[in-house]
Chain A
């Protein structure tokens, strides 16, 4: 059974970058179609990007293009999401989640516990 455990909270200055880690257990990170979703305080859920198993490529939401990078370390089964040029509006809880192992991206489950990123001067 896949489990996702994320890195701890971060506080960053505007203009800085943040890297959030998502440690995979129960499968290899390369077997998963990992996705990143964020939730600003008191707000709804926003998909940021993820791996598309149909086209075998990473896809980024338009608003994060050029600012977000998703990477994986297969030696440690850890996925990373880096977001640069941070601004106050990026303050949010960031979640990693995944589609079914080896399957189409028909649902997202499970989810990591979330990582709070605070952007403040």
Chain B
């Protein structure tokens, strides 16, 4: 199975300041088609996960442009350019290169 790790696991943030979360996989997530099969989700308290970034760097529909994803292979980053209060929750990365699909442990983002 592909093991996903994230850092940090807890991230207190100041509104208006940037934030960054790292996600690493135990093997490359590059598919034969050239895409990195890595997605980012935000799970707000009491809600289902919502897709933020797909294929490593593409913002999902309706996601504010302060969110960006980058990386390739086995090293990925989610950045929030200016954190807003509504961005609190747990951020997960997920690989869909091979089954079983696996998730990172999550990064809990809250306001300082």
Contact = CB atoms under 8 A, between A and B. Distances in A.
Contacts of B35: 106
A45 interface: yes
Contact of B92 (A44, A62, A105, A114): A44
Contacts of A59: 99
Contacts of B99: 47, 52, 59, 61
20 contacts: A35-B101, A44-B92, A44-B103, A44-B104, A44-B106, A47-B99, A47-B102, A52-B99, A59-B99, A97-B49, A105-B96, A106-B35, A107-B39, A107-B54, A107-B55, A108-B96, A108-B101, A109-B51, A109-B54, A111-B50
A110 B47 CA distance: 12
Given A109-B51, A113-B48, 14 more contacts: A44-B104, A45-B106, A47-B101, A61-B100, A97-B49, A105-B96, A106-B35, A107-B55, A108-B39, A108-B51, A108-B96, A109-B54, A111-B48, A114-B48
Interface in A75-121: 95, 97, 105-114
A62 B48 contact: no
A52 B96 CA distance: 11
Contact of A62 (B96, B100, B104): B100
Task: List 10 tightest A-B contacts by C-beta distance, closest first.
Answer: A109-B51, A107-B54, A111-B48, A47-B101, A45-B103, A61-B100, A107-B39, A59-B99, A44-B105, A44-B106
Give the interface SS of chain B, mostly helix, strand, loop or mixed.
Answer: loop
Interface of B: 35, 37, 39, 48-51, 54-55, 60, 92, 94, 96, 99-106
Given A44-B92, A106-B35, A106-B96, A111 B49 contact: yes
Nearest to B104: A44
A47 B100 contact: yes
A59 B99 CA distance: 8
A73 interface: no
Q: Which of under 10, 10 to 19, 20 to 34, or 35 or more describes the interface residues of A? A: 20 to 34
A10 interface: no
Interface of A: 35, 44-47, 52, 59, 61-62, 95, 97, 105-114
